Structure 1
Amino acid sequence: MQNIHTMFISDVHLGTPDCQAQLLSKALTELAPKKLYLVGDIIDLAAMRKKAVLPQDQQLLLGQFWQMAREGCEIIYIPGNHDAPLRKVCGLKLGKLQIRRKAIHKTRDGRRFLVSHGDEFDGHVRIHPFMLRLGDHAHQLLLWLNRCYNKVRQWLNLPYRSLAAMIKQRFSSAQRYIQNFQDAACIEARRQSLDGYIGGHIHQAGFSHRQGALYCNDGDWVEHCTALVETNSGKLQLLQWPSMKVLGEPSAPLPFASERVNS
């Protein structure tokens, strides 16, 4: 594993039983990034309004974030739709920790990416708002089934498998939503003359070249336990825990946005 400069994580959903706090804590310790983007839905304030749950491992993870900032790691927190109340304090800086609505990240090799949670593109994916709300409730049910399914697999000494991901891959409507989401994100990145987009929200990690830009999604920490990382040389990779396996890297890079404009 090459030295990691920047790490992007999203959809941790602290405050819910689906949160994989211990695995994420281990990942942060192993990689020790110099810069960390918390790309939304880190604390699930929406769920905590109904039932406030924050077990010890999740409390320790929050403490770890704060300790990393105190030790010099630059942390940029971009609230998502589940921690949207924190958007009211965007612009706040506490030492190395800052809260922002979105960011422009410049990689070590000079590329520039729009970074946001991604829920702002929900209105661009041609799905009725009622269906979006229904999908959110259905996803919560899938996560509950996922916990039950993997408890049985653990009892049978079988490795973890995301039931929710297996089901979503079999529905063409879910795949259309993902493709429309990717297009909307990359169109916005190109509108700002950027090289690509980095976000979360849809719990579907991956890379793709769309609309003349590089789309990167860091996944989640409730189903897949994935993170997007940038090495000291500027290479982007998707990693998955607990194996710390490299899930993928972008295919041949596009010319930088500035090169495309000048060509």
Structure 2
Amino acid sequence: MAKREVEIVVLSDIHLATYGCHATELVAYLKSINPKLLILNGDIIDGWAFSKKYFPNSHMAVLSEFFKMMKSGTQIIYITGNHDEFLRKYSDLKMGNLFLTDKYLLEINGKKHWFFHGDIFDHTTKGGAKIIAKIGGIGYDWLILLNRAINFILESFGRKKVSLSKRIKPKSRS
């Protein structure tokens, strides 16, 4: 199968190392494209949830696809987000076709476009509320696991899946 040639692909909030990550689907997509520029716009690896206990092969396969792209000439811009802020101390690091940064300015057809992760607008991830955001992240991971179990039961009875996160997440801000 020939890969689709694309100029720019932007991916965000992949959250590798979490139960809610759709790594298998992402790998299939990555194998179908050949971008000139891949912008990873934050929260690619979830440092808040990361543990040695959970990083399945499907998540490693996502990283492997990124490395294959770099090897074949794709320029990768990795913009840090709040969940992968542990990488911010290495900001402006360039290694081959990989550039790690906190923000990125791209000029397309004479117009400037800023790329940055949305956490810069989220006051809960800054200062004293950061611990609350991290606890919320752990709760969200447990919610995903519970949701999978509920959907397994629902599907076995021929019922539609439900999304607990879609119901709960909008209420979490208040």
TM range (shorter): 0.7 to 0.9
Q: Give the letter for the 1:150 counterpart.
A: N
Give 1:66 shift: 0.6
Displacement after TM superposition at 1:159 (Å): 6.8
If asked which structure has higher relative contact order (CA below 8 Å, sep 6+), I would say 1
- What is aligned with 2:140? 139
Q: CA deviation at 1:64?
A: 0.9
Residues 73, 96 of structure 1: 8 Å contact kept: yes
> Cα distance, 1:19 vs. partner?
1.6
Q: 1:98 to 1:142 in 2, by over 3 A?
A: same
- 2:169 aligned with 1:168, yes or no? yes
**Structure 1 residue identity aligned to 2:118:** G
Residue 89 of structure 2 is matched in structure 1 by: 88
Q: Partners in 2 of 1:122 and 1:37 — Cα distance?
A: 21
Amino acid paired to 1:33: P
Residue 38 of structure 1 aligns with an amino acid whose one-letter code is L
Partner of 1:224: none
CA RMSD of aligned residues (A): 2.9
Structure 2 length-normalised TM: 0.78
Uncovered stretches (5+) of structure 1, i.e. residues with no partner: 178-263
Distance 2:89 2:28 in 1: 31
The residue identity in structure 1 corresponding to 2:106 is H
- Structure 1's 120 and 61: CA in aligned 2 closer, same or farther, altered over 3 A? same
Match of 1:115 in 2: 115
Matched residue, 2:9: 7
**CA spacing shift, 1:12–1:110, aligned 2, 3 Å:** same
Is the CA contact 1:40–1:78 (under 8 Å) kept in the aligned structure 2? yes
The CA deviation string for residues 53-73 of structure 1, in whole angstroms up to 9 with x for no partner, is: 221111121111011011011
Please give the alpha-carbon distance, in whole angstroms, between the structure 1 residues aligned to 2:15 and 2:61: 14
Residue 56 of structure 2 is matched in structure 1 by 55
2:91 and 2:102 in contact (8 A); partners too: yes
Kept after mapping to 2: 8 A contact 1:34/1:73: yes
Distance in 2, matches of 1:58 and 1:158, equals: 29
Q: Does the 8 A contact of 1:149 with 1:163 survive in 2?
A: no
Q: How many residue pairs align between the two structures?
A: 168
Q: 2:6, 2:33 within 8 Å by CA — same for their partners in 1?
A: yes
Instruction: List runs of 5+ in structure 2 lacking aligned partners.
Output: none
Q: Which residues of 2 match residues 12-91 of structure 1 at below 5 A?
A: 12-49=14-51, 51-91=52-92
Which residue number corresponds to residue 99 of structure 1?
100
Residues 46, 84 of structure 2: 8 Å contact kept: yes
Report deviation, 1:133.
4.9
Higher helix share: 2
| Partner of residue 149, structure 2 | 148
Shift of 1:132: 4.1
Using the alignment, how far apart are the partners of 1:159 and 1:111 within structure 2? 45
Q: Give the aligned partner of residue 184 of structure 1.
A: none
Residue 157 of structure 1, CA deviation? 6.0
Distance 2:106 2:157 in 1: 44
Aligned counterparts of 1:106 and 1:159: Cα–Cα separation in 2 = 45
CA gap of 1:161–1:66, structure 2 versus 1, over 3 A, is: farther
Contact 1:15 1:52 in 2 (8 A): no
Q: Indicate the percent of aligned positions where both proteins have the same amino acid.
A: 35
Judge conservation of contact 1:4–1:31 (CA < 8 Å) in 2. Answer: yes
Q: Which amino acid aligns with 1:116?
A: F
Note if contact 2:49-2:138 (Cα within 8 Å) is conserved in structure 1: no
